[in-house]
Amino acid sequence: MARAYYDRLSAQDNTFLLGETPTSQMHVAGLQIFELGDLATEQGGVDFDRLRRATEAVLHRIPRYRQKLRWTPLTGNPVWVDDPDFRLEYHMRHTSLPRPGDLQQLRRMVGRIVAQPLDRERPLWETWIVEGLSGDRFALISKIHHCMIDGSSGVDLAQILLSVQPEKLVPEPVPYVPKAAPSGGELLRDEFLRRASLPLKLLRGVRALRQEADGLGSELGVRAKALGDLVGMALNPPSQTPLNGRLGPHRRFDWLRMPLEDVKAVRRAARCTVNDVVLTTATGAFREYLRRRNVDPGAIDFRASAPVSTRRAGDEGTLGNHVSSWMIDLPIGETTPAAQLAAIHAETRKLKESRQALGVELIMGVAEWTPPVLLSLGAQAVGGQVNTIITNVPGPQFPLYMQGARLLEMVPMVPLLPGMGLGIALFIYDGQLSWGFNADYALVPDLEVFVDLVRESFQAFAAAMNAEVQPPTASA
């Protein structure tokens, strides 16, 4: 009899399952725009069959794409098992815009697709190939549940599915032979054994910490303070704003891109980091947007979650989440870019010195002991303590191709936590910084206004720093 095989989800991966609600889907998504090139058919469409075969040829390098969830009896802990009924045609979809499709139609299509939940009875991903886009282009919309990947592993994944050369060869796929899944009894037995071993693992962790740290007491003190700071923020939630409230089932999606060299020009002129440029630009946009919604920016606290990668050497190419977060109070009460930058720089310096991200890491470590019902309550509590998310992921600074078709632009999308009406994700690719905006349809009825304010905020920041930049554009 074949040996049963499964992978257990970490507590952090599980929080993205437990935090999902009917109106808050926890999948990350992305929009990629390609040149049509040699993938064009005689009718002007996309050679979808070739793309399907090319994807099938690399699936053996991404085992999670052919795995689905199962739950341990009684405890409810999720695990990954091979899906014996995997069918690629369910996960790869082919659709079209009404020709000649424009970017506004594409935005609406992305909003509709990302609003739909993934089927938990199947592997948790979908890819939509969209033809009909004007300018001899096509689009690819991807959805992957956050319990499978974080931003950094998403970049690894993109480089598996894409190529650095305009190759058109479609290799033969490696035959898929699913491994046997364990029985419910085997899962339950293994879970009890795992929990019984946790005290010993904790003791080993303390011993390792003693060896790595100059002083065990000081290191534990730093971690305790980081946890205390996080708890303090949870007890002091930010103000409610028109961007926050009950989420509906529908989404709006938009994007903006700017030359990376312009961002670096502002960074050099301001003597700060790229992340400081992003946060200052976002602060200016949020300030003006809230002011237009009849909110006094100087009278409220506005907090952003900024994910921080905790991947270490050896984690490259692995799926799953290795991420912590900074909780940053954006200085929307400041009236000038220089004052906003100074406040953000002081805040991020304080966060680095206090090592606040350790608080989230410590919670996730303790969560390995926690029953799913308590972990779910914890995930909901943490998610309610921020007004927005701003995440920035560096990508490859060279062109990528899919079956010879050049990737022109890659736009990310971050999921919305309950009560959060707008999230921002940024991705750096081939000399461009792309901003992706995911918004609740009702809470942010004028997303295009916010996108324009981001553009204006960056221009104002650059002018204040005497940096010459080009106006950011909507797309390639």
Digit-by-digit pLDDT tens for the chain (476 residues) are 457 789 988 887 888 898 899 999 999 999 999 999 989 998 889 999 999 999 999 899 889 999 999 999 988 889 999 999 999 999 999 999 999 999 999 999 999 999 999 999 999 999 999 999 999 999 999 999 988 875 444 455 566 778 888 888 888 999 999 999 999 988 888 888 877 766 665 555 555 545 544 444 544 454 455 445 555 555 567 889 999 999 999 999 999 999 999 999 999 999 999 999 999 999 999 999 999 999 999 999 999 988 765 444 444 445 544 455 778 899 999 999 999 999 998 888 877 765 544 445 444 444 444 555 444 444 544 445 789 999 988 888 999 999 999 999 999 999 999 899 999 999 999 999 999 999 999 999 999 999 999 999 999 999 999 998 877 665 54
**146 is known as an active-site residue:** yes
Gap between the terminal Cα atoms of the chain: 55
Residue carrying the six token digits 């303390």: 206
List Cα–Cα distances, 305 to 165, 248, 290, 424, in angstroms: 36, 21, 18, 10
Catalytic residue among 91, 146, 250, 322: 146
| CA–CA gap between residue 63 and residue 59 (Å, rounded) | 7
Fold held by 216-397+410-464: Chloramphenicol Acetyltransferase (3.30.559)
- Residues pairing with 446 in the sheet: none
| CA–CA gap between residue 452 and residue 137 (Å, rounded) | 25
Contact 112, 128 (CB under 8 A): no
> Residue ranges per domain, the chain?
216-397+410-464
**Nearest-5° angle of CA 267, CA 447, CA 294?**
90
Judging by DSSP bridges, how do beta strands 27-35 and 137-145 pair with one another? antiparallel
Question: Model-level pTM?
Answer: 0.85
Residue carrying the six token digits 């009917």: 22
Q: Which two tokens stand for residue 269?
A: 């002129």
- Residues pairing with 305 in the sheet: 327, 389
* Count of positions (residues) in the chain: 476
Residue 85: Cβ within 10 Å count: 9
